Structure 1
Amino acid sequence: MIKRFRALPLRSRLALLVATAVAVAVAASAVACWFVVRNALYDSLDDSLAQDRASLNSQLVADLAQRGQCRASGPILAPDSEDPAAKALRLTIQVVDPQGHRCVIRGEALKVDTSDTRVAANESEDSLHNAKAADGTEYRVLTYHLENYTSGAVSLGRPLTEVNDTLSNLTWFLVFVAGIGAVGAGIAGLWVARTGLRPVDDLTETVEHVARTEDLTVQIPAEGDDEIARLSRSFNAMTAALASSQERQAQLIADAGHELRTPLTSLRTNIELLARSEDTGRAIPPDDRKALLASVKAQMTELAALIGDLQELARPDTGHAAKVQVVGLHEIVQAAIERARLRGPELTITAELDPWFVRAEPPALERAIVNILDNAVKFSPPGASIEVSLAKGELTVRDHGPGIPADELPHVFDRFWRSPSARALPGSGLGLSIVARTVQQSGGSVELRAGEGCGTVASVSLPGAPTPPPSAG
């Protein structure tokens, strides 16, 4: 049953649940109403029996019973032998003794049960219960002890016909109302399902449209703060992120093509010159040939570096966490400084490095530090100094080059962005983008700012990690 229910469409399940909930509520209300009315009718009948007891001359009833003016069952007594108060009331009156014998004063004989005999034996004061007559009619019976007698009780009975008829009519009425309620519940369920799932239908149509056309500019109207509105806003944010990612990817491809075109064109030109020299037999002067080969080598090196940077940026982040480990940032910075000194032997690089351990991917982090130092080496004039410091998780690299204009600082971490003044220098414009990505993956932050007087200050902050235990041996 549960499997069949789950197999139904969401709209059908929602409509069925709403209809069931409303139908159960209507049925529960009808049942509660029936019991409330039933109790009220019984209370009213019990009050009438209590009034009958107060108005009945019990002494006369006892005297009639003692004189034998009663029967075990049967007809109403002659008017001259009845109590006037009892005559005015439509009552069944009988006297009961402790042995369960009955003496009918008026009406039909009622079945005597143990509660009646206990009252007759003076073991309880009175009793209220239902009893049946010989013809099957059900009565509401009040039995109370006869005053001035050691034993014996009077049972007053009123037929439950009126109560049962009223309850029967009420039952049919409530069944009719419940039926209408069930039908209304079904209609309400369909309406709620259709209205409630309309935003879901819109979302489904939008998703299908995006899948069919790959149009990520479509937006779903999101009104209110309910779950559907939140889902719509989440979908809009997702499509906006996908559109932005698609745009960045297209821009990356365009920028990469542009950056690759220059070295490839230069490389092609140089190779064509070498090939033409071989084909025509006209030798290129040795100095020109040496310069030409050096240019080819430099262009190939630039292409290799550019392709490596592109591979680094295109590398997915999914495998990053698996390669993360606790490493000493001071050790990585020291290794990067040694590499930077080889690239700028005419520069003075000073370092003050406090021990600091971080969680990162060692090769990627070292490459990011090397890129920062390479920039400092590239833009430092001959004989200048570069100061490197590491204190409390903040790495600072200070150079004394021309610096970066304030209006260009917001763009330094963009892919392929290069300052107009640096376009003639070697580089792909991806180094600082790789730095920003690596530092962010390690949970840190990086910024570039103008130094005092001149130059640029690069600052990298990385959160610390527990110091790894010393290796054995």
Structure 2
Amino acid sequence: MSPTARFRALPLRSRLALLVTVAVALAVAAVACVSWFMVRTQLNDQLNSSLRSTNARAQASQTLNTIRCQDKVPGPFENNLSAQVQIVLPTGGRCWVDGKNTLPVTDYDLEVAKGLRGAVLYDGKTTDGTPVRVYTQPVELSAGPSVQNAAISVAKPLSDITEPLSTLAWVLLFVSGVGILGAGVAGLWVARTGLRPVDELTGAVEHIARTEDLTVRIPDEGDDEIARLSRSFNSMTAALASSQERQAQLIADAGHELRTPLTSLRTNIELLARSEETGRAIPPEDRKELLASVKAQMTELASLIGDLQELSRPDAAAPGPLGVVALHEIAGAALSRARLRGPELAFDSDLAPWYVRGEAAALERAVVNVLDNAVKFSPPGSTVTVSLRAGELTVRDRGPGIPAEDLPHVFERFWRSPSARALPGSGLGLSIVARTVQRAGGTAALRAPADGGPGTEAVLSIPGAPAPPPAQAQAQPSVVPDQ
């Protein structure tokens, strides 16, 4: 397994703590390295300044003007244990002026002694191998009436730098280790504290998965990302609980609505079956009524099942392809079907051309449902008025009307007004109407007539769409004209 895969396999809390520790470790290491190099540079600069500021040339010249160059010349540098001083002659010889050990004569020293270059700084070693920093500068020695070029080298041990740097390195290493360890502990604490809401969310999800209890809520104090996640989760569980409740209510209402026609259908079929089993014939008129009742109940069951299938389809799943359709032609076709269902009624229609974007079959079914309600509640010999103006389809009947307190409930599933419970129907028609119109971008409403007369007005408002080209308009199915 690769390191990346191993890292991803760790728990989120461990990954966060590890990332915090690594980040702090890198930061501490960078600071420690920068500090160490800065101190080393500063110590080197101080050592170089100390070598340059040594007045060795003047003191050595004054000493050697009166004393012949020997292996060691006691002078002003005597007992100066922190420095080595010697004179380098152009011939390669040397005079040991002060210090515990002599310095090897290098090419740098000879070039300075011969006057080929100026003062020079370099790292070297004494004859016993002690690392030193050497500063060689030119000097003039008086030998009688003549002046001789030479060089004087001053050296100080590099231990003045290496020992403090070594001590500093150990101190930085100790402080870095403590800092990294503290960062690991702090990272673990921060990860545990910061992920506590996530743990609560995880616990809630596991509880819901185990018990299917959608009433669980997570505290969502604050405005940070975790609080927003908690609020989103609470909204999701509330929506799921509401959906579950609506589903249970739909099943209960559907079972209640199916029970009545099924009971009546079963009773009629049992009567017919008992007649065949006992040989006692049912009078022809009664048999005809029983068969007509069975047929009507079968039709009601088929319609109810179709309505349930329509309402069970998700809102995002349209029953057919959307396109630009002629609402006035759809209303005309629905009006022709309504005339067949209400031959004792008069229909007054005024349909102005209007095109909408939607699914033709679903829109026609919605208009048919509205017209069916108008036919159902209109007294014989009355008039049903249908008009379409500027995208507003209005259907008015002259029935008993709907009380104002019932209007907010008319589009609920299976809801039926007290006056309509004795009439055939399931209470799903207007729910399908509202759903279809909303899918087309419009609204559906029921209201009392503006003139204060009897009846109810159903208003479907659907936004318009550009009319199709003439060729497409001619290809649309024709509508049965009003009669």
**Preserved contact between residue 130 and residue 140 of structure 1 (Cα < 8 Å):** yes
Listed as ranges, the gaps of 5+ residues in structure 1 are: none
Deviation string, structure 1 residues 88-121 (Cα, Å, up to 9, x no partner): 7943445679999977644442775769958986
1:92-107, aligned counterparts within 5 Å? 92-93=84-85, 105-107=97-99
Map of 1:91 onto structure 2: 83
Taking the aligned partners of 1:261 and 1:209, their CA distance within structure 2 comes to 37
Q: Choose the corresponding residue for 1:263, options 261, 264, 277.
A: 261
1:39-84 Cα deviation digits (max 9, x unpaired)? 333343344345x24xx1634545667889668xxx76312xx47x
**Alignment of structure 1 residues 448-463 onto 2, 5 Å:** 448-452=446-450, 453-454=452-453, 455-463=455-463
Kept in 1, the 8 Å contact 2:28–2:179? The answer is yes
Residue 318 of structure 2 aligns with which residue?
320
In 1, Cα distance between equivalents of 2:151 and 2:37: 31
Q: Does residue 349 of structure 2 align to residue 355 of structure 1?
A: no
Share of identical aligned residues, percent?
60
Q: Please state if 1:202 is matched with 2:200.
A: yes
| Contact 1:99/1:117, CA 8 A, preserved across alignment | no
2:272 matched residue in structure 1 = 274
**Could you say which residue in structure 2 is the equivalent of 1:16?**
18
TM-score for the superposition, normalised by structure 1 = 0.82
- Quick one: distance in 2 between partners of 1:151 and 1:458? 122
Corresponding residue for residue 78 of structure 1: 74
Change in Cα spacing, 1:63 to 1:257, as seen in structure 2 (3 Å) is: same
Q: CA, structure 1 residues 252+177, in 2 after alignment: closer, same or farther (shift >3 Å)?
A: same
Match of 2:386 in 1: 387
Whole-angstrom distance in 2 between the partners of 1:134 and 1:278: 135
CA distance, structure 1, for counterparts of residue 64 and residue 360 of structure 2: 113
The number of residues matched between the two structures is: 460
**Secondary structure, counterpart of 2:405 in structure 1:** coil
Aligned to 1:137: 130
Describe the SS at the equivalent of 2:289. helix
State the shift of 1:466 in Å.
Answer: 5.7
- Report SS of the residue matched to 1:320: coil
Three-state SS of the structure 2 residue aligned to 1:409 is: helix
For 1:65 and 1:448, the matched residues in 2 are separated by 125
Q: Is 2:62 aligned against 1:27?
A: no
- Could you tell me which amino acid in structure 2 is paired with residue 459 of structure 1? V
Deviation string 1:263-294 (CA, Å, 9 cap, x unpaired) is: 12222233333334444544444443333332
Amino acid at match of 1:48: S
Between 1:314-323 and 1:253-262, the stretch displaced more is: 314-323
Counterparts of 1:123 and 1:191 in 2: how far apart (Å)? 64
The alignment's TM-score, normalised by the length of structure 2, stands at: 0.81
Q: After superposition, what is the alpha-carbon deviation per residue over 1:228-274, rounded to whole angstroms, capped at 9, x for unaligned?
A: 33332222222222221111111111111111111122222333333
Q: Name the Cα RMSD after superposition.
A: 3.8
SS of equivalent residue, structure 1 residue 448: strand
CA–CA separation in structure 2 for the residues paired with 1:337 and 1:102: 128
Partner of residue 430 from structure 1, selected from 406, 428, 437: 428
1:295 paired to 2:293 = yes
Residue 165 to residue 250, structure 1, CA distance change in 2 (3 Å) = same
Deviations 1:383-424 (A, max 9, x none): 323232142x44444444433222222211111001111112
With 18-27 and 133-142 compared, the bigger mean Cα shift is at 133-142
Gaps of 5+ in 2: 142-146, 476-483
Q: 1:119–1:127: 8 Å Cα contact kept in structure 2?
A: no
| Equivalent position of 2:158 in the other structure | 160
Whether the 8 Å contact between 2:384 and 2:395 is mirrored in structure 1 is no
1:430 is displaced (CA, Å) by 0.6
Question: Which secondary structure state, in structure 2, belongs to the residue aligned with residue 323 of structure 1?
Answer: coil
